[in-house]
């Protein structure tokens, strides 16, 4: 009986590994293709392992000036995350603490803002930003537009975290003579620190991959992020697949490392926020 | 001044200030663009009137131009197919995977979490990788299909008008499956084990238990996943940009991509706004239905 059970579990594990392998195959294919030269890339049948691995990291990095693109991506992502965390943390806290009709209305409005697609909001944002002169500061424009898109998601995630912080601790701090702000900063924020961190990481990862706003609001190449750079490099009829995949690999490897390190927290943060 | 200070001390002012900061930002950068979008959809907006605050009003002309356009029918149909097929496939595959990983074996939770690596990737990179996998001449998908005997010859996924939309759908399903699976897993683990045991004692088989216990108890969860799936699918833009640019001959164009094209490549911004207004109404409608249904669940 026990023996059977162990066999069944091993079988299930084997199937699970196959499923994960099949699903993650595109990621594997990205890395393998990045290591292939032109002849191996156009080989038929396709080769699943590069026979003469060729690392083009340095060449692609310099030829496509990836340093500039990635630097812009980083500035935009960090700027977006900073504004989102500064504005959104307090809002998530207040929405978790106070109950009432107005708070329900506020939460409803915030939820509605979350679903507005960037590709549809970009038309009015572009026209308004150009009329008010904001396009003079292209990266700032993208940051502001992205904050508007991601702030609601962050508020919802952080609110779920603050709901789990017991009220009694904060009340005790208030009785001890702390101000509301003091109690919020000294009691609530430290206790919710993990949830805040995960939510901030999720926001930053999204901001790192943003495309529509950057493509439409930034005209000058020197200010464009890595997504826009990749798109203009690919073009409609690219044949330099080694270059494209090397670019993609350089770009997403840090993101994937982040994900592997924080996998458990990201999964639980995501599930708690998305359903409440 | 004194009243606001006292309300700040007793606390209500503090909470209002915190919520007000966020709402204020969203008012300026989300709500105002929404209204401005609506206004522009009734105006003639092109490169000449872009900078002006006093543009000619054209009534419903933009809406008439857009819906009367010869490609409107094709693009609207594509949008419906894109949403329906993507959401259905994501749900079925996500549900099957969630059921599988619900069984107990070593590493089940961790392996399940690995699927989210796909969800975390930038859409544009996913598009780039898939455009090589889907490539007609030496794409690995064609090789797989031909080796398994599913297709006789090469399918030119991205350059044929009949398949281009489905090429984007394949990549979109890949992106959406992890999210569906994780949310459905949460619902599955909330179903108490003894319900199944009782049914098993009564002699109900696997299929019967799935149909009479799992599906009914997962109704709310499936509803949530469906509405979120529709919302996310209507937001999809990056994959179109990376894979097909809506082509060939609008064969894979959808309304959210067309709206951007009208504004940013044709500079018919008024018409882009009109398409945008129609689509935003649709998205908000789905979202309202979703939020209302979750509210009822909480009350019940």
pLDDT digits (tens, 9 = 90+) for A35-77: 998 888 888 888 888 888 889 899 999 998 899 999 999 999 9
Closest to B129 (Cα-Cα) out of A220, A245, A100:
A245
pLDDT confidence of residue B300: 34
Distances (CA, A) of B128 to A134, A182, A215, A243, B121: 31, 49, 16, 11, 11
Domain extents in chain A: 2-41, 65-275
Backbone angles phi, psi at A46, to 5 degrees: -60, 145
Q: What is the pLDDT of residue B5?
A: 45
Return the residue of A nearest to B26 by Cα.
A148
Dist. CA B128–CA B51, nearest whole Å: 36
pTM for the structure as a whole? 0.91
Q: What is the mean pLDDT of residues A162-184?
A: 88
d(CA B91, CA A53): 39
Res B298: pLDDT = 47
Residue A14: burial class (beta carbons within 10 Å; 0-12, 13-18, 19+): exposed
Does the pLDDT of residue A275 top 70, yes or no?
no
Which DSSP state fits A134?
A: G
Q: Using an 8 Å CB-CB cutoff, list chain A residues near B116.
A: 259, 263, 266-267, 270
Exposure class string for A228-239: b at 16+ Cβ within 10 A, else e: bbbbebbeeeee
Query: What pLDDT sits at residue B299?
Result: 41
Q: Is the peptide bond before B248 cis (omega within 30 degrees of 0)?
A: yes
Kindly list the domain boundaries of chain B, sorted by start residue.
Answer: 70-299
Q: Give pLDDT tens digits for A111-140.
A: 888 899 999 999 999 999 999 999 999 999
Tell me the average pLDDT of chain A: 90
- What SS3 state is found at B57? strand
Of the candidates A231, A241, A232, the residue with the CA atom closest to the CA atom of residue B139: A241
A236: pLDDT confidence band, cut at 50, 70 and 90?
Answer: low
Report CB contact under 8 Å: A119, B260.
Answer: yes
Q: Do A127 and B138 lie within an 8 Å CB cutoff? A: no
pLDDT attached to residue A272? 63
**Tokens representing A150?**
């991601």
Q: What percent of chain A has pLDDT over 90?
A: 57
Q: Do A46 and B276 touch (CB under 8 A)?
A: no
B70-299: CATH topology: MetI-like fold (1.10.3720)
| pLDDT value of position A2 | 57
The Cα of A259 is separated from the nearest Cα of chain B by a number of Å equal to 7
Q: Which residues of chain B have pLDDT under 50?
A: 1-8, 298-300
Taking the C-alpha atoms of residue A174 and residue B196, their distance in angstroms, rounded to an integer, is 48
- CATH number (1.10.3720.10, 3.40.720.10, 1.10.760.10, 3.40.50.970) of A65-275 reads 1.10.3720.10
Residues B89-117 have pLDDT tens digits of 999 999 999 999 988 888 888 898 899 89
Chain A residues lying within 8 Å of B113, measured CB to CB: 263-264, 266-267
Q: Is A210 exposed, middle or buried (0-12, 13-18, 19+ CB in 10 A)?
A: buried
Q: Which residues pair with B43 in a beta bridge?
A: B57
């Amino acid at each position: 009986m026990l023996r059977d059970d162990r066999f069944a579990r091993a079988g299930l594990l084997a199937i699970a590994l196959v499923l994960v392998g099949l699903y993650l195959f595109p990621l594997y294919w990205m890395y393998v293709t990045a290591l292939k030269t032109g002849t191996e890339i156009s080989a038929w049948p396709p080769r699943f392992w590069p026979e003469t691995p060729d690392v083009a990291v340095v060449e692609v990095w310099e030829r496509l000036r990836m340093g500039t693109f990635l630097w812009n991506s980083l500035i935009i992502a960090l700027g977006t995350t900073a504004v989102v965390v500064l504005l959104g943390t307090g809002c998530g806290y207040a929405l978790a603490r106070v109950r009432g009709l107005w708070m329900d209305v506020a939460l409803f409005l915030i939820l509605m803002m979350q679903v507005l697609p960037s590709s549809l909001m970009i038309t009015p944002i572009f026209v308004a930003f150009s009329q008010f002169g904001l396009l003079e500061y292209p990266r700032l424009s993208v940051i502001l537009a992205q904050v508007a898109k991601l702030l609601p998601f962050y508020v919802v995630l952080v609110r779920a975290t603050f709901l789990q912080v017991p009220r009694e601790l904060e009340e005790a701090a208030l009785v001890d003579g702390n101000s509301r702000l003091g109690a919020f900063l000294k009691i609530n924020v430290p206790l919710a620190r993990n949830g805040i961190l995960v939510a901030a990481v999720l926001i930053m990862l999204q901001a790192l991959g943003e495309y529509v706003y950057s493509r439409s609001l930034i005209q000058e190449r020197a200010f464009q992020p890595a997504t826009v750079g990749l798109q203009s490099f690919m073009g409609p009829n690219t044949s330099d697949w080694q270059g494209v995949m090397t670019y993609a690999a350089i770009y997403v490897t840090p993101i994937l490392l982040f994900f592997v390190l924080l996998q458990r927290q990201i999964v639980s943060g995501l599930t708690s926020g998305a359903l409440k | 001044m004194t009243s606001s200070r006292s309300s700040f001390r007793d606390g209500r002012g503090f909470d209002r200030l915190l919520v007000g900061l966020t709402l204020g930002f969203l008012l300026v950068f989300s709500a105002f663009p929404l209204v401005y979008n609506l206004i522009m959809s009734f105006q003639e907006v092109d490169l000449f009137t872009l900078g002006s605050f006093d543009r000619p009003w054209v009534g419903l002309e933009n809406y008439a131009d857009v819906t009367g356009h010869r490609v409107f029918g094709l693009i609207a149909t594509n949008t419906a197919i894109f949403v329906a097929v993507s959401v259905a496939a994501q749900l079925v595959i996500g549900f099957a995977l969630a059921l599988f990983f619900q069984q107990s074996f070593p590493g089940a939770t961790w392996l399940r979490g690995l699927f989210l690596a796909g969800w975390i990737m930038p859409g544009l990179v996913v598009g780039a990788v898939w455009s090589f996998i889907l490539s007609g001449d030496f794409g690995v998908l064609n090789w797989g299909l031909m080796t398994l005997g599913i297709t006789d010859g090469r399918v030119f996924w991205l350059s044929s008008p009949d398949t281009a939309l489905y090429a984007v759908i394949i990549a979109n399903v890949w992106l959406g499956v992890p999210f569906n699976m994780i949310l459905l897993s949460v619902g599955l683990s909330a179903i108490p084990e003894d319900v199944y045991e009782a049914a098993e004692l009564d002699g109900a088989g696997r299929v019967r238990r799935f149909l009479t216990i799992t599906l009914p108890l997962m109704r709310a969860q499936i509803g949530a996943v469906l509405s979120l799936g529709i919302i996310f699918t209507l937001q999809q833009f990056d994959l179109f940009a990376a894979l097909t640019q809506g082509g060939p001959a609008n064969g894979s164009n959808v309304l959210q991509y067309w709206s951007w094209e009208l504004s940013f490549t044709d500079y018919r911004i008024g018409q882009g706004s009109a398409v945008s207004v129609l689509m935003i109404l649709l998205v908000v409608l789905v979202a309202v239905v979703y939020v209302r249904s979750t509210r009822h669940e909480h009350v019940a």
